[in-house]
Amino acid sequence: MNIENLKESVKLCIDSKLTAFIQGSPGLGKSAIVKEIARERNLKLIDVRLAQCDITDLNGFPKRDGSKATYLPFDTFPVEGDPLPEGKSGWLLFLDELNSAVKSVQGAAYKLILDRMVGNHSLHPDVAIVAAGNLITDNAVVNRVSTALRSRLINLTLAPDTGLWIDWGINNNLDDRILAYIKYKPGNLFNFDPNKDEETYACPRTWEMLSKILKTINSNNLKTYSELITSIVGNVGLEFVEYSRLRDSLPNIHQILQGSTKSDSSWDIGKKWMIIFHIIGHRNLINSEDDFKNVFNYINEFGSEFSSLFIKQCCRLPDISVRMMKTSAYYEILSKINPAAAPSA
């Protein structure tokens, strides 16, 4: 299941008062998805790592109450009667590493998920619950979830999706060289091999980490940083470093906007993706009619396939699509790509 479908499925589970259990290989972004859902639903996120918990954490702390003993819940869990968090509609309780927890803790989580109870106390009615864990096939620290608990969960498996990840990367301003490289070599978005004992590997999480590093490097020459880059994304980092060198031989956004440079249809596909993602990464500079005209004319030399993909990508970006659709250059390029289907300005 890709990220988009999984997010929608988790939201449906929340609306139905059911608990989704997101499973997927390490580094695919399971935690990030849950954080996004909490933000979109205006819920305060409570992140509980079950692998680090014991039974007391979930059941509460024993307390004497007169001649009997009871349990005092930790403030981690909102219970009936607690006020809503300021400015929030409720809570999203994220039970991460569910299948990495020992059996006794899984048993305590069963009560939390099924009965919505923390010891003797009922969870607040405005608490949504989502769980997550790694796949048992990935050689991660995983314990089998009991059939009794598994049958109470909506089991969802996350798989990598290069196209959706690139869309996410553009919207989150990831380094355009990384996005171009993944478009060029989509198989290197995620190359985790559970049968290899590697210190690190390429995955959505580590590519995002690398992007943060690249934003602090004031040089296009990444060869000096090869060891650092491979320590983040593994051996594919060497190929990425070599690929990033294409940036030095290509025009920059200012030259393209001025119309002072020409593209070359004979360029290989790697160069074409590098320049296209460079333009998308600097889309805030594309404003006037002439700007759009020069960009469209430049990319159109690559062929209608690339022009069409560029237009579709821009249409998914609110910060440029509104400006783009107000220009006659937009309708002109559409008529070149597909004369029969192009709308009139």
Digit-coded pLDDT (tens) for 185-204:
999 999 887 777 777 899 99
Is pLDDT of 116 > 70? Answer: yes
The 10s digit of each residue's pLDDT in 222-263 is 999 999 999 999 999 999 999 999 888 889 999 999 988 888
Do 314 and 175 have their domain in common? Answer: yes
- The dihedrals phi and psi of 210, each to the nearest 5 degrees, come to -65, -40
Q: Which domain holds residue 227?
A: 162-337
Please check whether residue 60 lies inside any domain of the structure: yes
pLDDT at site 74: 81
Sheet holding 90-96, edge to edge: 43-49, 90-96, 127-133, 19-23, 153-157
Do 123 and 98 have their domain in common? Answer: yes
Distance CA 109, CA 149 (A): 9
The 10s digit of each residue's pLDDT in 327-340 is 999 999 888 877 65
Do 25 and 169 have their domain in common? Answer: no
pLDDT at site 141: 65
Is pLDDT of 117 > 80? Answer: yes
Average pLDDT over the chain, rounded to an integer = 89
pLDDT mean over 30-38? 93
Eight-class DSSP state of 81: T
Please check whether residue 199 lies inside any domain of the structure: yes
Please check whether residue 344 lies inside any domain of the structure: no
pLDDT at site 340: 58
pLDDT mean over 125-143? 83
Please check whether residue 345 lies inside any domain of the structure: no
Do 103 and 56 have their domain in common? Answer: yes
Do 112 and 172 have their domain in common? Answer: no
pLDDT band at 64 (very low <50, low <70, confident <90, very high): confident
Amino acid at 170: I
pLDDT at site 70: 74
Distance CA 283, CA 295 (A): 10
Is pLDDT of 104 > 80? Answer: yes
Please check whether residue 168 lies inside any domain of the structure: yes
How many folded domains does the chain comprise? 2
Do 62 and 196 have their domain in common? Answer: no
pLDDT at site 343: 55
**CATH number for the domain including 111?**
3.40.50.300
User: Domain ends where: 157, 187, 215?
Assistant: 157
Do 151 and 16 have their domain in common? Answer: yes
Do 183 and 328 have their domain in common? Answer: yes
pLDDT at site 39: 96
User: Domain ends where: 142, 157, 172?
Assistant: 157
Do 193 and 77 have their domain in common? Answer: no
Do 167 and 150 have their domain in common? Answer: no
User: Domain ends where: 115, 132, 157?
Assistant: 157
Please check whether residue 65 lies inside any domain of the structure: yes
pLDDT at site 278: 94
